[in-house]
Structure 1
Amino acid sequence: MYIALDIQTDFKINSLTDLPKLKILMENLKMRINKSQLARELNVDRRTINKYLNGFTPKKTKNKSSKIDEYYGVISLLLSKESKQVFYYKRVLWQYLKDNHDLDCAASSFRRYIQSKPEFQSYFSEGKRINSTQSSIRYET
């Protein structure tokens, strides 16, 4: 009896997503997989190797728009050079938008949004804070 197996045997394991191919090969050859060695080579835990061998696939993230995208024009207008109002902190800008433009998001989400947009982040990175020039010298009488 002659059995021909159509199995690809020439591949390299570079990431966890390549493990199902290895599992198919090893099952057909009736061999066991050394999960500890794979874990050391891929710098992950051996239980993670086991999880991916059993068919785990990571969730795909959705490319959805943010709530704050609606306020992009308002934010760019407020942070432009033509604007008379100066915002030294992202929290103050967030509070202004919340009070005057009905922005409905958390402060941390707003800071992350500002940080993700280089044109907005550069406004806060420039360091427009005014150092107080008035200082008093203390002396003992």
Structure 2
Amino acid sequence: MPRITVTSVHVDDQAQALAFYTDVLGFILKHDIPAGDFHWLTVVDPGDPGGTQLLLEPNQHPAARAYTSALHQDGIPATQFEVDNIHQAYADLQKRGARIVQPPTEMGPVWTLVVDDTCGNLIQLATAPEM
């Protein structure tokens, strides 16, 4: 049976993305391996350093740029991460200077917020009784 070990988000600036995903969201660096003009650059949850990696993939292919641009322009998050307490996450993000696109919003049993990752993506954080 396959396992999810790496998933990716296309970014227009890997260094800026690394700063956002580590300094603002709190992930930790897993791999930073030179690969030509770019890097194999992954981050992970500090509570699960052996868990699924998020690849900060260069947004170089025209189709990837069109896709991420369309999602961002339409206000659609590129991906979603779970948080234990959406209101605490919101307060922490504000302290770290994040650009909040949508403050905590109740959607039935789920609470979400959306933040701009500064690298071409909207990222949704969500909390629910049983996610």
TM-score when normalising by structure 1:
0.19
| Structure whose residues are more often helix by fraction | 1
| Bigger radius of gyration | 1
TM-score when normalising by structure 2:
0.20
Q: Which has the higher contact order (CA 8 A, sep 6+)?
A: 2
